[in-house]
Amino acid sequence: MTLDWYQTLFEIIDMRSFSNLWFWIVLAVVWSTASHWVLGVPYDMVLRAKRYGEDAQVDLEDMVRINVNRLLYIGRVSGLWMAGFACFFLTMLLLLGFVYHNEFAQAVFLLALPLSMVGMLSLSTARIIEAENSSGEILFKRMNRHRLYTQIIGMVSIFVTALWGMYQNMSLGPLGG
């Protein structure tokens, strides 16, 4: 009797995405991180500036200005190319996942599509902040609104991913169908 290590490994460790604990941990970490870093600025910095004012507010405004300028520069210089590559990548994942039934591509698509929406939201918020030269209460409002929208996108994404993952797990069964 020969022992097939490859088969044994795949029987012990389920390599399908939606039944793998690591996928769900990654999903939680991704959305936790996305809602904590608002335009590249940690949200605790926004709260500290709102609470203490003065130096903390100056630090926040400087950090937001730096990140807004960085985002807008990247968008202006290579935004069209990045949008083209992102659309290609998302389309490839969509086709591989939902036409050719590759579960890993489905999982990556369900992570990448909502994150690309957050990226577009970040670019839009950066443009608004630059246009109105936001500071003080207006900046707090913009940052809070951006975080709220990111959290809403994240909640919808997690809900849809959980529904799809449960459907996949129930329809394929424990051995991958």
pLDDT for 7-34, tens place per residue? 766 665 555 788 888 899 999 999 999 9
pLDDT in tens, 53-99: 889 999 999 999 999 999 999 999 999 999 999 999 999 999 999 99
- Of 71, 37, 30, 60, the closest CA to residue 140 belongs to 60
Any domain includes 49: no
Q: Which structural domain, as residue segments, surrounds residue 101? A: 56-177
* pTM score, whole prediction: 0.86
pLDDT beyond 70 at 173 = no
pLDDT beyond 80 at 3 = no
Any domain includes 134: yes
Any domain includes 32: no
Please calculate the CA angle 158-9-172 and round it to the nearest 5 degrees.
45
pLDDT for position 13: 59
Q: Can you state the angle between helices 21-36 and 103-132, rounded to 10 degrees?
A: 0
Residue 43 in contact with residue 57, Cβ under 8 Å?
no
How many domains in the chain? 1
Any domain includes 85: yes
Any domain includes 84: yes
Residue ranges of alpha helices (H) inside the chain are 5-12, 21-36, 43-52, 54-94, 103-132, 136-172
Any domain includes 172: yes
Any domain includes 109: yes
Any domain includes 33: no
pLDDT beyond 70 at 111 = yes
Residues 6+ apart with CB under 8 A from 148: none
